Amino acid sequence: MFFVKSFKKITVSLIFAFHNMLKPFYQQQFIEAGCDEAGRGCYAGPVFAAAVILSKDFYHPLLNDSKQVTEQNRNTLKLFIETHAVAFAVAMIGNDEIDRINILKASFKAMHNALDALKLQPELLLIDGNRFTAYKKIPHHCIIKGDSIYASIAAASILAKTYRDDYMRQLHEEFPQYNWKKNKGYGTAEHRSAIDKFGLCKFHRKSFNIQPTQVKLPL
């Protein structure tokens, strides 16, 4: 009985590990960088993007799409990626520029800025999602849910998410009424309620349809 239970436990563990294995690279000929963003759908704050180049033997058992990783494990992965990546860079575009050029263009611009900051120029880009504005003359592949398929994109998603979360905690100190240290600027019920009560602040994205729902009557 003990042997059967142990065998089942090992089998389940192996199946779980198999389903969470990320591909280490898209191809082997060219230097490739994974790119991803964080904060695209938020009501407030900047959008962050990261670009990461990994060695072919890079591996960490916790690495996955940042949305599938706990906050504690994301912070562990952040340090590991920064220590072991061949190159990485993170960039952000603030809410004012998001309002001027729209969130999609801002996300692409943040990725471009991150790529500009890499100490090593990649020869191929792996982009999470289905659209991208070409960067220089470097070929790219858009990969839907790429952060759960390729290690470099997953690493980029971890860095973009952790850097943005840290930034939103800093903004929380100035505007604690929106509780950004918890909701990170996303449109949670709590955040929407705070907008109704306190209105919008300078870090909210005015081009988003997030105006307070309560209409103030003239006195």
Write out pLDDT tens, residues 153-165: 999 999 999 999 9
CA gap 200, 179 in Å, rounded: 13
User: 3 CB contacts (<8 Å, ≥6 apart)?
Assistant: none
For residue 56, the model assigns a pLDDT of: 87
Share of the chain above pLDDT 90, in %: 85
What is the rounded average pLDDT for all residues in the chain?
91
pLDDT value, residue 116: 98
Q: What is the pLDDT of residue 4?
A: 46
Query: For the chain, which domains are there?
Result: 27-198 (3.30.420.10)
Residue 84, pLDDT > 60, answer yes
pTM of the model: 0.88
Segment among 10-19, 24-33, 38-47, 159-168 with least mean pLDDT: 10-19
Q: Is 17 exposed, middle or buried (0-12, 13-18, 19+ CB in 10 A)?
A: exposed
pLDDT of residue 165: 98
